[in-house]
A and B are shown apart, each in its own frame.
Chain A
Amino acid sequence: MSASPGSRDQEMERQSMDADIVCVGFGPATAGFLTTLCRGLAEAGAAAESAVMPGMPPQVLCYERAEDIGFGVSGVVTRARGIRASFPDLDLSRIPMAAEVGSEKVVYLLDPVGASRRSPALRLIERLIPRGRKDHAFELPWIPSFLRKEPGLVLSLGQFCQWVGGQVMASGLAQIWPGVPVAGPLFADGRVSGVRLADQGVDRQGRPEAGHMPGMDLRAALTVVGDGPVGPVGRAIDERLGLPAGHHRREWAVGMKMVVDLPEDCPLEPGAVLHTLGYPEPEIFGFLYVYPENTASLGIFVPSWFDNPARTAYRYLQHWMLHPYLWRYLKGGRLRSWGAKSLQESGRAGEPFLVGDGYARIGEGSGSTNVLTGSGVDEAWTTGVQLAEAVLELMAEKRPFSAENLERTYVARRRASWVEAGARRAAKARDGFQRGVLSGLVGMALAGLSGGALNWPGRSRRPHERIPSLEDYCRGLIPAEDLAALRRECAAKGAALHDAVMDRLGWPEIPFDGRLLVSHQDALLLGGKVQAPAGYADHVVFKDPSVCAACGTRTCVEACSGQAITPGPEGGAPLFDREKCVHCGACLWNCSQADPDDPEASNIEFRAGAGGLHSAEN
C-alpha cells in the first residue's frame, strides 16, 4: 500500500474499516451510480450479500468532501436523456428549481464599454452586425442542433443532488457522508484497495494538534471514483498510472455562477435558456437559465486558453451581468447564491484509465463531458448508471471487481452508449480554440455539423506554457512604467492586480448596489456562505516556494475565485486562507509555473480539504 497525498506517519493509531463499495464524491455521476445500485440491491434482496458483513446487504459508503450534499455544484441545462431514463415518471414539481426547457437563445454580445480585447478579424465580422441596437447584442437566428437542449431540463444541480441523495439514503442501502474529505486512494498488491480519509485535528501544515484523528483507511472491493476533475483520488490514480497514450488534461475552464432572484417585472419565463458569447471578452461564454418562481441561475466560463494572466472571473462576471442585453432582465434582482467550479474541458482527450483492479472512474473526472454540446451532467449521471449496472451484474455472477471484469461490463456498456458516441464526435471539436476564438467557433461548427468528421486543428498546450506575462498581455495598452507602479501599489496593499489593471484598461467601475452587485468578499459571505471547519490542513499547497518567489505572473492570485490566495510577503509564496476557499480548484491549472518534476503539472498542489460553499442552490 502507499501513503496518500498529504498523509504522514502518525503516532496515534490509524483506524481502518471494511466496506464492500466505497464511493468518493457525491455529484451527478455518483448520484446515478447509487440510484441504480440501490434499486438493484433492493430487487436482489437477500441474494445480494455483503462480503465484509455476512448476512447483511452490501455495505455501500459514499464520502463527500463538501459539508452537505449538493453544496458547490451548478445550475445546468441538460437534455436529461440519462436522467429521464432513470426516472421515466419524473415529476419536476418534487425537485425545487427544476423546469422544462421552454425557449433557447444564443446571443452574441457586442462590447458596450470598449474595454474588451477583440481581434481585428472579430472586429471586422462585428461590423456586419446591424448597428444602432440599444442592447448591443445579436440573437442568432438559428441554433445548431448539436447545441440545442430542447427538450431538456434546467436544474439546480445542488437541489437535484439533494433530492436524489435523500432517496438513496432513505433506501437504507447506501450511506452518503458529507463533510468527509478523502485524502487519496490506497494501493495494495497492485490494485486500488480503498481510500484514506483526510486527517483531522491537525494544524494548517498538517501537524497533529488537539483532537488529532488520523484519517481512517476504508478498504473495499470496489472504489468508485467520482470526485470530479480536481478530486484528489482521481488525480492520485492518474499520477500513479499515468494517462492513456496521447491523452492529456490541459484544457480547463472555471465556471463562476450565481443564483439570482429576478426583479418582479422580469419577463423571462421559467425554462428560458440564454447562451452568450462575445463579451466581456470574446473568450468568455455566459449562460442564464430561468427557474420557476422568478429565479435564475447565471454565470460565465473563463477558459484556460484565455491568455490573460490577470483573469478574474468575479470582475468579469459583474461586467457580463451589466451588459445591456442582460441587465434589462437583472436590474433590481438580488443575489441568492454564488459559487465557482473548475470544468475539465479536454473531453475524451482527458479520459483516464476508466477501470483497474478494484476501482472504476465515473463522471467528469472520467472524461465524460461532451465539449461540443457543452453537456456534462447527463453524461456523468449515465456513466454512474452504467457502472452500477455492471456492478450488479458482477455481484450476481459473484465475480471480483477486477480490471478485466470491469472492462467487460462497465467500459463495454460505456463504449456502446450515446455517451461514447457523443464524446467521439466532440473529441476534436474545441481544438480550434488553441489558435483563437474565431478558429475555435468555426472548428466547433465544423465538428458539430459534420458529426465530428471535420475540425479545425490546434495543438494543445499546457496552461503554464500559454500564460503570458502581464507586461506582454498589456503591451501597447499600459506603459511598462505604469504597470510597474500598479504592481508596487497593489503589493503595498497586499492586493491582487486584476482590478487595477482592468480599471486602467478602461473597464468601468462596478456600481455596487448591495443586492446583486456586491464586493467579492460579500459574494463569498452573502452568496456562497463560505466557511471552513477547524482541524484540517491547508489543501492548497505551493510545492516549491522558490518557484513562486521567482514567479512574476501569479495567475493563482488573480484567478482565485474566493480571494483565498493573496500575494503575501515579498520573496515568498502566496498566502492561502482556507476559510475563503470555495474549492473550485482553479489554482491547480491557473498556475503559470510548471512542477519542476512534472511538466504536465503545476507548482500548486490541490489536496483534499474540508469546508467551502454552504449553498445547495447553485
Chain B
Amino acid sequence: MSAGFHIVVCGSLVPDPLQTLEPIRGPQGPGLKNEMMLPAILDPWAGHALFEAANLAASGGKVWLLSMGPKAKLQQVMMSVAQKAPFELVVLDGPAGGFTDAHFTARALAEAIEGIAGLDRSRLLLFGGWQSASRGAGSTLQMVGERLGVLDQFQGVDEIRVQDDGAFVVKERVEGGGYLVSRCAGPPAVLGWATGNLPEPPNNPQLGMANMRLIMPALQRAEPVPAEPGGLSFASVELPKARRETRLVKDLPPAEVAADILAWIKS
C-alpha cells in the first residue's frame, strides 16, 4: 500500500569518485581545488535512496528530488540522473561541498520542503543517503526530520517493506554486518539509505524527456542560498601525507610467500 507516499529525496552532487581531490583554502573557508571543473555525480547513497523511492512510488505516490548545489553543476548532473527515475526536481542554488555545516544545509532543505506545493506532510517519507560522500557526517537528514517534526527515523537502511495496513518494516545496518529490524506505523518518517537492494536502473530516454520538462524550469527558478559562516572554523585541511616504504617481494615461490605471510599474521 504505497499509493499514498509523498517521498522527498534529499541528495546533492559530489565529485565523481575517481577524481583526484585536493583541498584549498578560499575566502569562504576550505574547498576543493578546481571544484567547478571536477566531474560530479549524484551522491551515491542518495542515488540509492532515489531508486528506492521511485520503486516505492511506482504503484502510486510521488517523488521529489531536493538538491542544493551550484546550479550549473546540478544542471549537468541532472542530465544523468533524470534518465534513471521519475521525479520532480526542487533546486536550491547553494553550496554542495563537504565543508559546509550540516546545520545550515538542514535548515535550507527543511525550509524548501515546507515550500513544496502539493506535498502532504502526513504522507511524507523523507529519504536521503545515510551519509554524503562529501561531508560524510550522517547528520543532515535527522535535523531536517526534526525541523519537520518527524519522530520516526531510520539510518543505514537497506530495505523497506510496506505492509497491507500502511505500516512498513525497515532494516537498518548495525555493527558487525547485522540488521536492526523495526516496524513503523506509517508515514511520516525519515529514512537514510545505505546501499539498498535495487540495482541502478538503466538510462531511460523517455523518462529523461519527461523529467526534463520540469527540471529546466526548476533550475531556472532556483533561488540562491548564500552560505553562512556560522561558528565553525577550520584550522587546516590536509591530504594524508604518510607514504609508506613498500618492500617489494618478487620471484619468491608461492609456498615461501605463504610462509612469510603466516609468520606475519602470527606475529
Contact = CB atoms under 8 A, between A and B. Distances in A.
B18 A525 contact: yes
Contact of B18 (A172, A178, A531, A617): A531
A159 B39 contact: no
A210 B16 CA distance: 26
Interface in A34-92: 61, 63, 67-69, 71
A179 interface: yes
Given A172-B216, A213-B204, A336 B20 contact: yes
Interface in B194-208: 199-206, 208
B34 interface: yes
B76 A177 contact: no
A616 B79 CA distance: 16
A365 to B, nearest CB: 22
A579 to B, nearest CB: 12
B36 interface: yes
Contacts of B212: 175
Interface residues of B, number: 28
A63 B19 CA distance: 24
Interface string A219-244: 00000000000000000000000000
Interface in B64-84: 72, 75-76, 79-80, 83
B51 to A, nearest CB: 11
B259 interface: no
A10 interface: no
Contacts of A526: 20
B205 A169 contact: no
B37 interface: yes
Given A96-B34, A177-B79, A614 B39 contact: yes
Nearest to A218: B205
Q: Which of B39, B83, B201 is most buried by chain A, counting CB atoms within 10 A of its CB?
A: B39
A428 to B, nearest CB: 41
Interface in B151-170: none
B209 interface: yes
B18 A177 contact: no
Interface in B15-68: 16, 18-20, 34, 36-37, 39
Given A525-B18, A529-B16, 18 more contacts: A61-B205, A68-B39, A68-B80, A71-B39, A96-B36, A165-B76, A170-B216, A175-B79, A176-B79, A179-B83, A180-B83, A210-B199, A216-B205, A216-B206, A529-B19, A534-B199, A614-B16, A614-B39
Contacts of B39: 68, 71, 529, 614-616
A179 B205 contact: no
A461 to B, nearest CB: 40
Sorting the interface of chain A by its residue count into under 10, 10 to 19, 20 to 34 or 35 or more gives 35 or more
Nearest to B16: A614
B18 A180 contact: no
Nearest to A159: B37
Contacts of A200: 202-203
Given A162-B76, A166-B76, A617-B37, A179 B18 contact: no
Nearest to A169: B75
A211 interface: yes
28 contacts: A61-B209, A69-B76, A96-B34, A165-B76, A166-B76, A169-B76, A170-B75, A172-B216, A175-B79, A175-B212, A177-B79, A177-B203, A177-B208, A178-B80, A179-B80, A179-B203, A180-B203, A180-B205, A197-B205, A200-B203, A201-B202, A211-B201, A218-B205, A336-B20, A529-B19, A534-B200, A535-B202, A614-B18
A15 interface: yes
Contacts of A197: 205
Contacts of A218: 205
B79 A169 contact: yes
Contacts of A216: 205-206
Contacts of A178: 79-80
A213 B80 contact: no
A55 to B, nearest CB: 13
Interface of B: 16, 18-20, 34, 36-37, 39, 72, 75-76, 79-80, 83, 199-206, 208-209, 212, 216, 219-220
Contacts of B220: 170, 172
A17 interface: yes
B80 A15 contact: no
A615 B204 CA distance: 24
Contacts of B80: 67-68, 178-179
A200 B205 CA distance: 12
B38 to A, nearest CB: 8
A537 to B, nearest CB: 13
A401 to B, nearest CB: 21
Nearest to B40: A68
Contacts of B206: 15, 17, 216
Contacts of A17: 205-206, 209
Interface in A487-536: 525-526, 529, 531, 533-535
A69 B83 CA distance: 15
A213 B202 contact: yes
A210 B201 CA distance: 10
Contacts of B209: 17, 61, 175
Contacts of B36: 96
A210 B197 CA distance: 14
A146 B79 CA distance: 40
Contacts of A67: 80
A176 B83 CA distance: 12
Contact of B83 (A15, A68, A169, A177): A177
Nearest to B18: A529
A68 B205 contact: no
A318 B39 CA distance: 26
B223 to A, nearest CB: 17
Contacts of B204: 213
Contacts of A180: 83, 203, 205
Nearest to A175: B212
A452 to B, nearest CB: 40
Contacts of B83: 177, 179-180
Contacts of A172: 216, 220
A29 B231 CA distance: 49
Nearest to A617: B37
B193 to A, nearest CB: 19
Contacts of A165: 76
